Structure 1
Amino acid sequence: MKRLLASSIFILLVVQYITVLAQDIVNSRQREIVITHVNVIPMDKEQVLQDQTVVVKDGKIISVSKQAKYSKGALIINAPGKYLIPGLAEMHAHVPPIDDIEPMKEVLALFAANGITTIRGMLGHPKHLELRSKIQQGEILGPHLYTTGPSFNGMSVTSPEAGAEMVRKQKAAGYDYLKLHPGLTRAKFDAIAATAKEVGIPFVGHVSFGVGVWHAIDAGYSSIDHLDGFIEGIVPGIETMNEQQTGLFGMYVASQADTARIPALTKALHDKHIWVVPTQSLAERWFAPNFTPDVFLTEPETKYMKAETVNQWAETKKNLLNNPQYNTAMAENFIRLRRKLIASCLQAGVGLLLGCDAPQVFNVPGFSTHNELQFMVRSGLTPYQALQAGTVNVARYLNKPDAGIIKAGAIADLVLIDGNPLNDISQTKKIEGVMLDGKWLSKEYIADSLQKLVK
């Protein structure tokens, strides 16, 4: 009886030990990590490599093969029937622009839990430079961070000369990009763009109404986000209108757009090597009439946002629906035109990047990036093309040939999912584990970390 009791206690202790391990991060720099019997979507071309063994050591993928050698002490993740994709990127993210790093870590945790292993912060703050450094040094767990500086807009840029000086200061501070917001005059914009080229820092984001998309293209944006200015750029007589008439992203004049002008627009984007971050999830959830605050409240990710934030988003939506210029037919036409523009960009060879503007109206960090994938597919992309926007396209944009792909020598940013996303893009939401810079976050660890973020 004593022997049976001792055996039972031993088994219980082993089970508890395994549970603790499952909720801990395993770093490939200390212990080899091996994923066995997994179906790999390498993203070098549209294919599935079935029943593979992926070996990770020191933050890098060592091998992808049917049979592999690895150390006896390796962590083995047996994944028959599961699929492995590269980590996803969110190229229009927002990290709180404040002096306190702790709330920033919560946002990073939401991204990481959803397999977002790279983010580009689009409203910079001096503290983000410290955050980026702490992530790089391993002091904070989070996606690889690229950050813009504080916003260039009609209020922050008081003159062309002030704009040029802001560019120099942000370059010297070490930001990766300049973030352009609405409200810039042509003179202010030209000074910013010229100085940015002079000192060698790319500018990204919005296109001010006073600048216009055609001039923006000529100036050489690194990426234009939200399809900002696209609709206004194909509306005849736009020069006789003011910004209030056209609405946000040209929503109120979409019915006047001349779609025959789209090929010229997309050709110009392609020829100038300008990338596009559509943020279609923002448009579909904020502007479409069928997505209401009540629908958002039924979504499980709502619980990770503060009640005041959810209420603010609901009020924003209600204010839009109550605007006299807004009506269902207009909004639906606007959404259709945006989808057409996204598909036309793809057909013209314009580089598309995955991004959804979270946290923003009805877009919860991490979760909304997967929604964006679905909206890109609804816009005419295949699931593989949508995945490209968040993996290999981003690697090409960032000039990182060892990222966004699953092959020997690549950075170990990986997402283990339940089903094949090439057949059903929504499978990317069914996450079984995440590898972030060679660190394994198990399904149990992810569930535990998310539980701590419930508001």
Structure 2
Amino acid sequence: MKWTAPACLAALVATAGLAVALQPHPGDAATAAPASDGVLIHGARVFDGERDLGIADVLVQDGRIAAVGAGVAAPAGVARIDGRGHTLLPGLVDAHVHAWGDAQRDMARFGVTSALDMHGDAARLPALRSARESVADSGQADLWAAGFAITAPGGHGTQYGFSVPTVDAGTDIDAFIAARVAEGDDFIKLIVEDLSAYGTAQRLPTLSGQQVAAVVAAAHARERLAVAHVATLADARMVVDAGADGLVHVFTDTVADDGLVEALRARDAFVTPTLSVVASMAGSGEGKALAQDPRLQPLLTVEQTGTLERDFGPPHPARLEQAIESVRRMHAAGVEILAGSDAPNPGTAHGASLHHELELLVRAGLTPAQALAAATSRPAQRFGLAERGRIAPGMRADLVLVAGNPLDDIRATRAIEAVWKNGHRVARAIEAAGPAPAPAPEATVVSDFDGGRIDATFGNWQATTDRMAGGGSDVEHALVASGAGGSPGALRVAGEVRPGFAFPWAGVMFFPAAQPMQAVDLSGRGELVFRVRGDGRSYNAMLFSGASAQGMPSVQTFVAGAGWQEVRLPLSGFAGGDLARVRGIAFTAGQPHGRFEFILDQVELR
């Protein structure tokens, strides 16, 4: 992931339990699972993960593939499915996700039956291993995971709401990696990221070249792959020279040069470009277009639609062009490319975005067959995903049946007719829609802070700081006398933004509904108006809105000077904001670290 500060705050609000999740619909029991004696898929074109087998039959029994070929007989009791005009694929593998909540079920509904989780709490690793060893009717994707990514204190990866062990100058790296392997890491992921690729002044601490080399050596000594998050060409060169097995993002600061491409090829290192999230960073709008694809749209949850409709910060079109050209050069030189989405970052959604990634890989020069292999057999082989990624006798019966032929048009993977996980048919229906936004209140004044309590004409106020994600910033908010224009009162917001968190913040948040992050329709309003005075710092006004409570906020800034001033922020100025579904408005201090104070009064939504 590559989070800007506003995006990080959005994720952390969700982490704090303010998100609204929709559960998949249980579906019809008759279609949720096949007959207990198995299934025969007859007459479909079969892509086995490596090559086109032509028209063939595939027999599934006891959760595994029993036979593949022409004229396979169906034993008594086996259900028979007519696959003519369709293509049967191995269950897809997403080689870069960050999975929580309903992610595994969402992936399975879109034919992604296995995935590689690139950073998360190691406590769940034993359960993930147990689940993927089973052939039960789970209805969800299996996960192989890195556990905690390897990063520096306060570095990228420490900002997501759970405690992460880190590597500093005094760390015994061999013992550190031994501990991660003992926790159950399936592979080791390093993070080499200081934010220099994104044109911002902020820098994060990150791993040194010496530390990277030591982590790679310790991982290899324990028969684990070592893969790296990088964002610049220079960092990519450094980690490849240190012996990393692969890059799990393509860098976006420039195009890959001949030296790096040759180093990748010579070391047999792979690259998972995650072009879907690069497209979001570019501001391409491709995530929104994916959400509107009629083959996918009925299967998307409100949450998934919300993340797809968001772009990742200010647009940088050149990033996608450079990334695609880098992939084109790598692929042409024989560097192995794997398909990964980096879901659920803005512009992506679990399951659906792997189909977008396939299209982008073809755009970057892979043939459809090569792109499909990059999402099936190739990641399975590289990461040792036993019994996955192929259609062959003895393999898991993780299968996807699509209408048409994706070997001719890769976008045919979106026309999914059926998915099987461990030989069981996956229920794919979802709730038709989430709850409708609450109607706009009649009042335009939110709060004048003239009473004896911190209240609002509608909605409510709450403090918010990075402590919900393990940071150390503090805030206090209280009524004070002598508000703007001589009014009786105002709201004082003061505290300290402290180091120890990658994207620190502290402030207050207004929720327009009775429950935090419940959507309210404010499409009839035009301005956020308030009076403010303070210490001269620049502050953020953040609008949280849209179909998903986990969506990235839209941001405008304001300065709190020494004297009272009226600030008028047009709601249309919150780029990408969905005024029909407003979930919250935050007033926060961020960088630089230090004390802050501002006094807020006469808040209105006109």
So what's the TM-score if we normalise by structure 1? 0.75
**Structure 2 residue corresponding to 1:133, chosen from 130, 133, 143:** 130
What is the letter of the counterpart of residue 210 of structure 2? A
Q: CA deviation at 1:447?
A: 1.9
Structure 1 partner of 2:186? 176
Structure 2 partner of 1:279? 274
2:148 matches 1:150: yes
What is the letter of the counterpart of residue 132 of structure 1? R
2:341 matches 1:356: yes
For 2:328 and 2:400, locate their aligned partners in 1 and report how far apart those are by CA, in whole Å.
Answer: 27
For 1:158 and 1:132, locate their aligned partners in 2 and report how far apart those are by CA, in whole Å.
Answer: 30
CA contact (8 A) 1:305 1:364 kept: no
Structure 2 partner of 1:384? 369
What is the letter of the counterpart of residue 54 of structure 2? L
Structure 2 partner of 1:33? 39
2:383 matches 1:398: yes
For 1:114 and 1:346, locate their aligned partners in 2 and report how far apart those are by CA, in whole Å.
Answer: 26
CA contact (8 A) 1:217 1:268 kept: yes
**Structure 1 residue corresponding to 2:243, chosen from 211, 215, 220:** 220
Structure 1 partner of 2:395? 410
2:122 matches 1:117: no
Equivalent positions of 1:202-281 (< 5 A) are 202-207=225-230, 212-228=235-251, 249-250=252-253, 254=254, 262-281=257-276
Q: CA deviation at 1:281?
A: 0.9
| 1:420–1:294 CA distance, 2 compared to 1 (3 A) | closer
**Identical positions, percent:** 26
2:82 matches 1:87: no
Structure 2 partner of 1:447? 429
Q: CA deviation at 1:402?
A: 4.8
For 1:166 and 1:267, locate their aligned partners in 2 and report how far apart those are by CA, in whole Å.
Answer: 32
| 1:366–1:74 CA distance, 2 compared to 1 (3 A) | same
> CA RMSD of the aligned region, Å?
3.1
For 1:293 and 1:39, locate their aligned partners in 2 and report how far apart those are by CA, in whole Å.
Answer: 29
Q: Does 189-198 or 374-383 show the bigger shift? A: 189-198
What is the letter of the counterpart of residue 81 of structure 2? I
2:24 matches 1:24: no
For 2:47 and 2:300, locate their aligned partners in 1 and report how far apart those are by CA, in whole Å.
Answer: 32
Which deviations, in whole Å up to 9, do the C-alpha atoms of 1:40-65 show, x marking residues without a partner? 222443x3512x32111122222222
Q: CA deviation at 1:226?
A: 1.1
| 1:149–1:211 CA distance, 2 compared to 1 (3 A) | farther
So what's the TM-score if we normalise by structure 2? 0.57
Q: CA deviation at 1:151?
A: 2.1
Q: CA deviation at 1:169?
A: 0.7
What is the letter of the counterpart of residue 270 of structure 1? R
Q: CA deviation at 1:301?
A: 7.4
Q: Does 361-370 or 196-205 show the bigger shift? A: 196-205
Secondary structure at 1:35 match in 2: strand
Secondary structure at 2:94 match in 1: strand
| 1:198–1:68 CA distance, 2 compared to 1 (3 A) | closer
What is the letter of the counterpart of residue 172 of structure 1? A
Equivalent positions of 1:285-300 (< 5 A) are 286-291=280-285, 298=292, 300=297
What is the letter of the counterpart of residue 204 of structure 1? V
Aligned residues: 381
Structure 2 partner of 1:304? 301
CA contact (8 A) 1:185 1:208 kept: no
For 2:67 and 2:230, locate their aligned partners in 1 and report how far apart those are by CA, in whole Å.
Answer: 44
Equivalent positions of 1:187-198 (< 5 A) are 187-198=210-221
For 1:43 and 1:86, locate their aligned partners in 2 and report how far apart those are by CA, in whole Å.
Answer: 6
Structure 2 partner of 1:326? none
Q: CA deviation at 1:216?
A: 1.0
Q: Does 403-412 or 427-436 show the bigger shift? A: 403-412
Higher RCO (CA-CA < 8 Å; seq separation 6+): 1
Secondary structure at 1:320 match in 2: coil
Q: Does 175-184 or 198-207 show the bigger shift? A: 198-207
Q: Does 356-365 or 60-69 show the bigger shift? A: 60-69
Which deviations, in whole Å up to 9, do the C-alpha atoms of 1:189-211 show, x marking residues without a partner? 23322322333322213137697
| 1:94–1:26 CA distance, 2 compared to 1 (3 A) | same
Which deviations, in whole Å up to 9, do the C-alpha atoms of 1:301-335 show, x marking residues without a partner? 79525499749x84x74x424xxxxxxxxx34332
Equivalent positions of 1:301-380 (< 5 A) are 304-306=301-303, 310=307, 314=310, 317=312, 319-321=313-315, 331-380=316-365
Q: CA deviation at 1:268?
A: 1.0
Secondary structure at 2:224 match in 1: coil
2:161 matches 1:166: no
CA contact (8 A) 1:296 1:362 kept: no
CA contact (8 A) 1:53 1:65 kept: yes
CA contact (8 A) 1:282 1:357 kept: yes
For 1:66 and 1:209, locate their aligned partners in 2 and report how far apart those are by CA, in whole Å.
Answer: 50
CA contact (8 A) 1:225 1:279 kept: yes
**Structure 2 alignment gaps of length 5 or more:** 1-26, 154-165, 194-205, 436-546, 549-606
Structure 2 partner of 1:241? none
Q: Which has the higher helix share?
A: 1
Q: Computing the radius of gyration over CA atoms, which structure comes out larger, 1 or 2?
A: 2
**Structure 2 residue corresponding to 1:49, chosen from 48, 54, 57:** 54
CA contact (8 A) 1:412 1:436 kept: yes
CA contact (8 A) 1:32 1:71 kept: no
| 1:195–1:337 CA distance, 2 compared to 1 (3 A) | same
What is the letter of the counterpart of residue 412 of structure 1? A
CA contact (8 A) 2:117 2:144 kept: yes
CA contact (8 A) 1:186 1:210 kept: no
For 1:353 and 1:161, locate their aligned partners in 2 and report how far apart those are by CA, in whole Å.
Answer: 32
For 2:350 and 2:30, locate their aligned partners in 1 and report how far apart those are by CA, in whole Å.
Answer: 24
Secondary structure at 1:397 match in 2: helix
Structure 2 partner of 1:234? none
Q: Which has the higher strand share?
A: 2
2:222 matches 1:199: yes
